[in-house]
Amino acid sequence: MLLQGALLLLLALPSHGEDNMQDPPLPKGACAGWMAGIPGHPGHNGTPGRDGRDGTPGEKDEKGDPGLVGPKGDTGETGITGIEGPRGFPGTPGRKGEPGESAYVYRSAFSVGLERQVTVPNVPIRFTKIFYNQQNHYDGTTGKFLCNIPGLYYFSYHITVYLKDVKVSLYKNDKALLFTHDQFQDKNVDQASGSVLLYLEKGDQVWLQVYEGENHNGVYADNVNDSTFTGFLLYHNIVE
C-alpha cells in the first residue's frame, strides 16, 4: 500500500514546463485515474535476420615473404617419349687439322729367277731372269738388293732342288739371317723355300747365298723348273 501511495504522489507533482506542455492524451478506452502497471518480463529473442550484402573488396596488400622450401617429392614415373623434333641447323666448321703424311707412294720391289743351273757356293746367287725390277733396286750383276727407301720389307725365295742337297742362307750386310736346308731324294725334283720380314736402312743389302761348299749346291732351274727370289717394301720408315 505504501508503494502505491508513493507512485500516486509522484504523478500528482507538476513537471517542469508544465505551463507550456499539455497532458498527453490517455490511451483509448483508458479510465480516469489510470495508473501504469509493473514492467513485464523481457520477450524472447527474435529469429536471426537475413545475411547482409557482400562488402566491397579491400585494398591489395604487399606481397609477403616466400615460404620455406618444402621437402623433395618422390620421383615421378617416366613420361612417354615425345616425337622427334625438327632437324637442327648445321654446326660451325671445326678447326683445320694437322697436316697429314705425304700422299707420295714409296715403291720398291723386285722379283727375279735363276736362268741357269750353275751357282757358286759362298757368294751371292745371281738371279738374272727378271720378272719385275722397275725401280732397279736389285742388281743382276751382283745378285744383291740395295735398299734405297728405309722401311719394312718382305723377302721370300723358292728353290728347286735337284742332283744335290741344298743349304741356302738369306744375308743382310754379310750376316746370315735365315737358313734353309733340303736333302735331295734320288731322281726326284724337290722344293725348298723361306720368307722373312726385315727392317732396312738406306744402303743395306740383301741376297741369297749357298753355304757349306759344293756338296750343298743343288739349286736348280730349267725351262720348266724355277728358283726365284722376291722382295718388296711394306711400310716406309716405320722405325724412328
Domain of residue 198 covers: 109-236
Which uninterrupted H or E stretch holds 11? helix 2-12
Mean pLDDT in residue range 29-34: 53
Residue 29 covered by a domain: no
Q: Is the pTM of this model over 0.95?
A: no
| pLDDT the model gives residue 164 | 82
| pLDDT the model gives residue 160 | 86
Q: In the predicted model, is pLDDT for residue 8 greater than 70?
A: no
Dig out the grid coordinates for 200 from the structure: 732396312
Residue 122 covered by a domain: yes
Q: In the predicted model, is pLDDT for residue 15 greater than 60?
A: no
Residue 52 CB contacts under 8 Å (≥ 6 apart), including other chains: none
Residue 85 covered by a domain: no
| pLDDT the model gives residue 17 | 45
Q: In the predicted model, is pLDDT for residue 22 greater than 60?
A: no
Residue 225 covered by a domain: yes
Is the separation of the CB atoms in 207 and 193 below 8 Å?
no
Q: What is the pLDDT of residues 77-124, one digit of tens each?
A: 888 888 888 988 888 898 888 877 667 789 999 999 998 776 778 889
| pLDDT the model gives residue 240 | 47
Mean pLDDT in residue range 170-194: 87
Residue 26 CB contacts under 8 Å (≥ 6 apart), including other chains: 34
Q: Is pLDDT larger for residue 202 or for residue 76?
A: 202
Q: What is the CATH number of the domain that holds 209?
A: 2.60.120.40
Residue 174 covered by a domain: yes
Residue 199 to residue 53: CA distance in whole angstroms: 108
| pLDDT the model gives residue 133 | 97
Residue 68 covered by a domain: no
What backbone torsions phi and psi does residue 75 show, to the nearest 5 degrees?
Answer: -65, 130
Instruction: Give the number of domains in the chain.
Output: 1
| pLDDT the model gives residue 199 | 96
Residue 45 covered by a domain: no
| pLDDT the model gives residue 69 | 86
Indicate the length of the chain as a whole number: 240
Dig out the grid coordinates for 218 from the structure: 743343288
Residue 28 covered by a domain: no
- Cα distance between the two ends of the chain: 148
What confidence category does residue 131 fall into, taking pLDDT thresholds of 50, 70 and 90? very high
Q: Is pLDDT larger for residue 180 or for residue 232?
A: 232
